[in-house]
Amino acid sequence: MSKKTKKIVILTEVELRKTISRLTCEIIEKVKNLDNLLLVGIPTRGINLAEVLEKELFCMTGLKIKKGIIDPTFYRDDQNRVGTRLIRATDIPTPIEKQEILLIDDVIYTGRTIRAAMDSLYSWGRPQRVMLLVMVDRGHRELPIQPDFCGKKVPTSKNESISVRLKNIDNEEGVFLD
């Protein structure tokens, strides 16, 4: 018999939307030339967050920001430990030289996914700058990687997990501690 765990709400749907709006404003402030910006989502929810941010940026600035996908699976140094999932095709719509890249992921934990994503990205070329946006930073870093844009810091124990839920994938929206 499995023990039923209670889901704790970290961000409600409304709070998640407000956080995305705040992050969008921070991007507009920090990135001087938005025409040079490329949003790159990391599967799975990073891709959907990139789509949401693209729409928010368009609503706030009227600019159509380019976006792509990078799947770091084959660049991971811990595949034995984390296993594999269905691979998403990497899709970088423009040469990345001289681009400002904003890597987007839902949760940062050890930093290994981001390191693998950067290794994968650099196999496509050398961007002008790489920045990182995460919805949740839960600590426990094993690598010296920190987000430039962070929705919320949530200290967790190693046996807890955080899930960012999005309507178009999960039929509910919010951030939860499991």
Going from N- to C-terminal start, the domains of the chain cover 8-177
Global pTM reads 0.92
Tens of pLDDT, residue by residue over 73-98, are 888 877 665 555 567 778 898 889 98
**Which helix (H) or strand (E) is 165 found in, with range?**
strand 162-165
Taking the C-alpha atoms of residue 59 and residue 156, their distance in angstroms, rounded to an integer, is: 34
CA–CA dist 35, 61 (Å, integer): 11
Contact 103, 95 (CB under 8 A): no
- The CATH T-level fold of domain 8-177 is Rossmann fold (3.40.50)
Question: Is 2 a residue whose pLDDT tops 50?
Answer: no
Locus of tokens 């209670």: 6
Rounded Cα distance between 76 and 82, Å, is 9
Instruction: Give the tens place of pLDDT for each residue, 146-176.
Output: 999 999 999 999 999 999 999 989 999 999 9
| Spatial distance between the Cα atoms of 4 and 17, rounded to a whole number of angstroms | 29
* Phi then psi dihedrals of residue 149, to 5 deg: -130, 130
| Residues 100-116: tens digit of each pLDDT | 999 999 999 999 999 99
Give bridge partners of residue 8 from the DSSP assignment: 177
Confidence band of 4 (pLDDT split at 50, 70, 90): low
Indicate the length of the chain as a whole number: 178
Spatial contact of 151 and 49, defined as CB atoms under 8 Å apart: no
The arithmetic mean of pLDDT across residues 57-76, rounded, is 94
Cα(147)–Cα(70) distance, rounded to whole angstroms? 17
- Mean pLDDT, the chain, whole residue set: 92
